[in-house]
Amino acid sequence: MREWYFKLAFFKRRIYRHAFNLHMNAKKILESADVDAVVIYNGSNEDLNFYYFTRLLYGGIFEGSLAVISEEGVKVITSILEEQSAKKGSNEVLIYRTGEEREKLLREAVGSANRIGLNYASLSMSDFNRLKKIMGEREYVDVSEKIMEMRMIKDEEELKNMREAAKIASEVADIMPDFMKEGIREYELAARLGYEMFRRGAEDFAFTTIMAFGENAAEPHYLSGARKLKRGDFVLMDFGARYHHYNSDITRTFVFGRASEEQKEMYYTVLEAQRIGIEMLRAGVNGRDVDMKVKEYINSTKYKDRMIHSTGHGLGLAVHDHIGLTSLKDLILKENMVVTVEPGVYIPGFGGVRIEDDVRILKDGVEVLTSAKKNELIEV
């Protein structure tokens, strides 16, 4: 009798192991967080981990949907509205028509799991309380950091989407000088930029475009406004495309008309700082050291203390996916992480230069995902 029981258990495990092969991320999170199940709720706050675990990257919004990750695989609980989108994936799909049905499906999907992992980083307090009320007395564990650790390392499908997102943004950066003319407003040029990304297949902006002319380029997070383009202005554009939920993030700085000596010096200082940063990157290097080295170089020039942000950040499903190259924190870089490298210098009232590229960390170097021209300051 006992022997039969073990045989059955072994057989069941084999089935599950087969399911695991389909869901590497699911397997990993259950093991690393030591939980019976993970419940991801794409509720009042969007939870990007929903896409990470379900791989439902090709259409569907999944508002209010849940992903339940357990030994049995990934179950998607979604409304009838999203049924067709949900069935594009390889998850089990459970459809609800009412809130009550959704609650019932969630209770069934978690079954007898005791330790439940939740993503505390994006659950709102009210959603957290609601989930606990639906699932009842169990042990709830924060798995947000464990998930983030996994998300830092990109797989082939993620890299494929990120390469495409980077390609779209790079092509657009290269053609933007064609649309610069005297008197055009920042928001007009930003609109053109968006149009050019969408017609190349971007599904969305990665974030609100920064289009800064002249003195506005001195504000690293300026958005865009009614400022008209004049001869001699810096044109700084920081933008990105989203492609199947993965983002690119690029910055290029141009001069409209002839560049002054000061503008050239700023540009080539930043370019050299970026070169120093990229050259250091490889698996095993600490992101903190890269930021320090880049700033050490900037601080050895006349632009001392003019770089007022970190050298880069992690990129992926989120634009600021995880910490990257910052002297504020240690991050040992690993193969297949994707980070931005974006030094800049800013002079209030005058302008700023930033040059940003997205790079994938390799064993002994990087793959630069973005490819827009930058080696000469472009005077339009």
> Which residues lie near Mn ion (CB under 5 A)?
249, 340
Beta-sheet pairing, 323-325 with 312-313: antiparallel
With CA atoms as reference, report the closest residue to 324 among 338, 305, 308, 335. Answer: 338
Cα 317 to Cα 121: distance, rounded to the nearest angstrom: 15
Measured from the CB atom, the residue of 86 and 315 that comes closer to Mn ion is: 315
CB 269 to Mn ion: min, Å = 19
Residue 303 burial (CB < 10 Å; 0-12/13-18/19+)?
buried
Question: Virtual CA dihedral for 144, 149, 155, 161, nearest 10 degrees?
Answer: 60
CB 49 to Mn ion: min, Å = 21
Beta-sheet pairing, 344-347 with 351-354: antiparallel
CB 292 to Mn ion: min, Å = 19
Measured from the CB atom, the residue of 60 and 324 that comes closer to Mn ion is: 324
Report the side by side order of strands in the sheet with 65-70. 92-96, 73-79, 65-70, 37-42, 115-118, 139-142
With CA atoms as reference, report the closest residue to 311 among 259, 275, 337. Answer: 275
With CA atoms as reference, report the closest residue to 239 among 279, 192, 178. Answer: 192
Measured from the CB atom, the residue of 116 and 290 that comes closer to Mn ion is: 290
CB 342 to Mn ion: min, Å = 5
Measured from the CB atom, the residue of 55 and 295 that comes closer to Mn ion is: 295
Strands (E), 240-356: 241-243, 246-247, 250-255, 312-313, 323-325, 338-341, 344-347, 351-354
Residue 307 burial (CB < 10 Å; 0-12/13-18/19+)?
buried
Amino acid in position 121: A
Measured from the CB atom, the residue of 79 and 340 that comes closer to Mn ion is: 340
Measured from the CB atom, the residue of 344 and 351 that comes closer to Mn ion is: 344
Measured from the CB atom, the residue of 82 and 249 that comes closer to Mn ion is: 249
Measured from the CB atom, the residue of 269 and 370 that comes closer to Mn ion is: 370
**CA distances for 211 relative to 107, 226, 234, angstroms:** 48, 11, 10
CB 316 to Mn ion: min, Å = 12
Measured from the CB atom, the residue of 54 and 340 that comes closer to Mn ion is: 340
Are 83 and 95 spatial neighbours (Cβ–Cβ below 8 Å)?
A: yes
Sign of CA dihedral 316, 320, 322, 324: positive
